[in-house]
Chains A and B, each alone.
Chain A
Amino acid sequence: MLETAGNSGSERIGAFRSISGFLPKTAVFIAKRLFGALATIAVGALIVFFVMKAAPGDPALAVLGDNATPEAVEEFRRRHHLDEPLVGQFVLWVSGMLRGDFGLSLTIGGGIPISQLIATRLPITAFVGIYSVLIAVLVSLSMGTIAALRRGRAADTIATSVAVLGISMPDFWLSYVLIFAFAIGWKVFPAYGFISPVDSLAGALYSGFLPALAIAAPMAAVFARMLRASLVEAASREYVLAATSFGFGKPFVFRHFVFRNALIPYVTVIGLQIRYLLGGVVVIERIFGIQGLGSLAVDAAFARDYPTVLACTVVFLAIVLLVNVIVDLICAALDPRRSL
């Protein structure tokens, strides 16, 4: 959605600029992208809200039990605004969200503000997510570059095979292989539990290593494959031949002509993979006992805590869209043809 908005928007930026001539171009670019993301979140929230409301079952009875007194059910409905008409509920919910209020949870924590739950768990998920992206980037940059430079040779074959294997391993299975190897067999990392980065950064890096690695491995495989393919393609371009014929050294040509141009598709793929990363986070947080947003979503799913599931879904969507905006910015910065 953002991509299409961006393509058609590049001409419109011109019109925009004349109105806001004093604003830096970058600010306009960011504002436009953020607005697009916000609109998508709004429509996404609308859809998940009404789909959730269409689900069979009465949340009041699900939480209080079938034997609840009518007064208790009545009180519960009033507290969670379930006595309002649907549209009214939606307006209340959205206007609350805009103020950072996601309503009260049904069962998790015995009915506390969901915003409080999200505030404590989001930093943990953000840490694990960024940690695993960093690992995946480090691994894939080296693997993809080696494969492309040694194209057709043993190193390439090995790197490419490892990448295919990486894609074929479900991350939750890989977690247990890692636990078996590095927590039960060779006791170097903890099998369970996570120290919050708020308490100790070193502790978080240490206790979060296995989960981050499990999430990173399949991603690194995808990134490396992409990087190898785009490096190979960039290396075959005429400007590389031209640069070489000017007498520039191989490392110079690689750094300035091949690598830089291959980075754009690479960064784009990282952005696309955020969807899968966050999916992996959900399962892996659960396996390693990390109290993040993913395990909150699973706990809420089990407890049929509808508003919490709803809030988590919207927050996850918001994270994806926000990351996409950032990726767009990085790509624009990398591509000299695309002026901001």
Chain B
Amino acid sequence: MNSRHGLLGHATTLIGASITLVAMVAVVIGPMLMPYGPNDSDFFDLLSPPSWAHPFGTDSFGRDVLTRVLYGARVSLVVSAAGVALATIIGTAVGMVAAYKGGYADLLLMRFADLLFAFPAFVLALFLMVVLGFGTINVALAIGLIYFPIFARLARNMTLLVREEPYVQAARLMGQSTPRILLREILPNIAAPLIVQATIGIAFGIIIEAGLSFLGVGVQPPTPSLGVIMADGREYFQRGPWVLTLTGLAISFVLLGLNLFGDGLRDLMDPRLRERTGQ
């Protein structure tokens, strides 16, 4: 029983990792293999359904949708990764300082993170886009600001766990400075769960980017992002449903990979959960 469940958990992690890897490879080298550019229009081949020449069909400008999806996924992934990286840095810093310093700093920083956490994520994203202005970089900023409370909480809880470990006490007794202890002693020991959270966070970022750009307040055309392509496809959904549906399918594929991978990693690292599934 034990090994079977362990293996099953392992299998889903592997499937997730493979899907993620396939998606990464497709995004990195896919555009180079495609014979079309993302904005090449062929006016004799408008809105043609999926075929061998155009596996995802063409859009109303006669552009190859698969090529656009590959380029768009690049934009979406970079935006999401940048946002999550920002969230990781701010959140980890806030959480570690809050836990290490304790007292009012802890209370204030965590209350602020909790407050941000109470806003509906997408509403906050919309609000931030109005404040910052529509555009690619601001989408990444918005993702970072919305997602950092999660890292703050996680980093705080993890820091509280390792704060009194002997190696941290030793470093303190040796008279090392607080920033040095935080960076050299504590950070490496809490990094693993943060990385797992970042994997799941990238899936979240992709959804936020796609949603904002789909509404028209995120990445602006002609830059192709997954959300922008879907917004295009919405205009002629009745005549060419493949543009929107296949782009969405590509998003789901990436999200599925990231979710399975992230969940699997989390299960592997969480001893409580491992115990539960290993019963």
Which A residues have a C-beta under 8 Å from some C-beta of B?
1, 4, 40, 43-44, 47-48, 51-52, 54-56, 152, 164-165, 167-170, 172-173, 176-177, 179-180, 184, 229, 232-233, 236, 274-280, 282-283, 286-287, 297-298, 300-302, 304, 306, 309, 312-313, 316-317, 320-321, 324
- Alpha-carbon gap, A313 to B123, bound state (A): 6
Interface string of B246-270 (1 = CB under 8 A from A): 0011011001100110010000000
Residues of A within 8 A of B238 (CB): 184
User: Is B130 a contact of A321 with CB atoms below 8 Å?
Assistant: no
B214 on the A face (CB < 8 A): yes
Interface string of B1-15 (1 = CB under 8 A from A): 000010000000000
CB distance from B185 to the nearest CB of A (A): 28
User: Is A309 a contact of B130 with CB atoms below 8 Å?
Assistant: yes
User: Is A301 a contact of B129 with CB atoms below 8 Å?
Assistant: yes
Q: Please name 14 pairs of A and B residues whose Cβ atoms are closer than 8 Å in the assembled complex, sorted by A.
A: A1-B114, A40-B115, A164-B259, A164-B260, A172-B214, A176-B241, A184-B238, A233-B276, A236-B279, A277-B120, A283-B122, A286-B215, A298-B215, A321-B118
User: Is B207 a contact of A170 with CB atoms below 8 Å?
Assistant: yes
User: Is B120 a contact of A320 with CB atoms below 8 Å?
Assistant: yes
User: Is A43 a contact of B115 with CB atoms below 8 Å?
Assistant: yes
Size of interface on B: residues with Cβ below 8 Å to A: 46
B193 on the A face (CB < 8 A): no
User: Is A173 a contact of B248 with CB atoms below 8 Å?
Assistant: yes
Q: 8 Å CB contacts to A: which residues of B195-215?
A: 203, 207, 210-211, 214-215
- Alpha-carbon gap, A277 to B124, bound state (A): 13
Interface string of B228-241 (1 = CB under 8 A from A): 00100010011001
Are A170 and B121 also in contact (CB < 8 A) when A283-B211, A301-B130 are? Answer: no
B221 on the A face (CB < 8 A): no
- Alpha-carbon gap, A44 to B125, bound state (A): 15
Contact of A4 among B114, B120, B121, B251 (CB under 8 A): B114
Residues of B within 8 A of A301 (CB): 126, 129-130, 215, 217
Residues of B within 8 A of A313 (CB): 119, 123-124, 127
- Alpha-carbon gap, A43 to B113, bound state (A): 12
Are A317 and B119 also in contact (CB < 8 A) when A1-B111, A164-B260 are? Answer: yes
Interface centre among B117, B118, B216 (most CB of A within 10 A): B118
- Alpha-carbon gap, A304 to B249, bound state (A): 32
Are A276 and B121 also in contact (CB < 8 A) when A168-B259, A176-B237 are? Answer: yes
- Alpha-carbon gap, A53 to B217, bound state (A): 19
- Alpha-carbon gap, A313 to B241, bound state (A): 33
Using CB atoms, name the residue of chain B closest to A310.
B127
User: Is B115 a contact of A316 with CB atoms below 8 Å?
Assistant: no
Using CB atoms, name the residue of chain A closest to B132.
A55
